[in-house]
Amino acid sequence: MTRTLNNRAILALRSLALLLCLACASAAQAFDLQGHRGARALAPENTLTGFERALAIGVSTLELDVVLSAEGVPVVSHDTTPNPDITRDAEGRWLQTRGPAFHTLTLAQIAAYDVGRINPASRYARDYPLQQAVDGERIPTLAAVFELTRRVQARHVRFNIELKRNPERPQESPEPEAFVRAVVGVIQANGMAARSTLQSFDWSVLKAAQRLAPDMALSFLTVQRPRFNNLDSGVWSAGARLADFQDAPAMVAAAGGRVWSPNHLDLSQRAIERAREEGLRVIPWTVNEIPDMARLIDWGVDGLITDHPDRLREVMQRRGMALPPTAPGP
């Protein structure tokens, strides 16, 4: 009798383990709803308030950007220098020009900037009329973002961390190896390596990550527009040139990429099919309009990066797609 019960218990445990494995596999392949800079259309970008808003809406991934301070601490900013469109000084005055490079500023100097609202005189303000200002919002460290997710118990959420470096203006950023070491160090110190992806338009950063942190997930950002193309000259793509490859998916795969994150305007259904042939997942940026969201989902993308996670959740819900959980709060 005891042996029978033990056998049943073992079978039950095996069944439970199998179900858990299947659940984990399903979660890993679930559609990835990424909140761009938190929820940029609704709250100040790359701020703790913005990230908390995205978590309350319900995203699977927080997309954010990092630079380094003078001390080598990763701080969250889309720009390598303070942006006058969103930045006021300690006296509350809008910056008139871009400030000095962040990697020349101390944490104390960076903390003096207020990034809680958009300059109403800027084009940026016209582009994001729904963004709610939060005066006094400061530029957070990457560690503070991790702490926020722990505080609100967002145990499910992943982090897509863009390392901002412009190889055409190298004086504004640290060298790739130092950049990667600093960011990966904070990720590992916070126990977030399994939940983090590194991305960059500067593929020299991703190449450094492949050498220094080979187990870290990477996403290769691309853009092929008239004003900016990071694949044509080799400057941004670590020496590789699109002309030497069949197409962008082939170029990403040859660089060792497994995730391709293109500008959504560069995509076609055939390009997504080619990505599949190269074994790539496809997560386009930055998709804000509902018809574009619907079309790209129909084409089979693996996720979307959006300033409007609220809209994307609505599209997913109408289609009966699994939704990421909302953060339960502190």
What does the DSSP assignment read for 156-216? T-EEEEEE---TTSGGGS--HHHHHHHHHHHHHHTT-GGGEEEEES-HHHHHHHHHH-TTS
Q: Mind listing the pLDDT tens digit for each residue in 242-259?
A: 999 999 999 999 999 999
10 pLDDT band (50/70/90 cuts)? very low
8 pLDDT band (50/70/90 cuts)? low
The pLDDT > 70 percentage for the chain reads: 91
Q: CATH number of the domain at 31-318, out of 3.30.420.40, 3.40.50.970, 3.20.20.190, 3.40.710.10? A: 3.20.20.190
pLDDT value of residue 173: 94
Distance (Å, whole) CA 53 – CA 131: 11
Is residue 234 predicted with pLDDT exceeding 90? Answer: yes
Query: Would you say 50 and 40 are in contact if contact means Cβ atoms under 8 Å apart?
Result: yes
Query: Would you say 198 and 217 are in contact if contact means Cβ atoms under 8 Å apart?
Result: yes
Distance (Å, whole) CA 281 – CA 272: 9
Any idea how long the chain is?
330
Mean pLDDT throughout 262-276?
98
Q: Mind listing the pLDDT tens digit for each residue in 80-133?
A: 999 999 999 999 999 999 999 999 999 999 999 999 999 999 999 999 999 999
Instruction: Give 222's strand partners.
Output: 262
Instruction: Give 199's strand partners.
Output: 162, 219
pLDDT, the chain, mean: 93
Residue with the two structure tokens 């930055």: 286
pLDDT value of residue 25: 39
Is residue 18 predicted with pLDDT exceeding 80? Answer: no
Residue of 95, 111, 93, 118 whose CA lies nearest to 43: 118
Mean pLDDT throughout 187-214?
98
b/e map of 285-297 (b: 16 or more CB within 10 Å)? bbbbeeebbeebb
Query: Would you say 307 and 286 are in contact if contact means Cβ atoms under 8 Å apart?
Result: yes
Distance (Å, whole) CA 130 – CA 273: 36
Mean pLDDT throughout 261-289?
98
328 pLDDT band (50/70/90 cuts)? confident
pLDDT value of residue 247: 98
pTM of the predicted model as reported, rounded to 2 decimal places: 0.91
CA distances for 168 relative to 176, 193, 237, angstroms? 13, 30, 12
Longest dimension (CA), the chain: 82
Domain boundaries along the sequence of the chain? 1-30, 31-318
330 pLDDT band (50/70/90 cuts)? confident
Distance (Å, whole) CA 84 – CA 106: 19
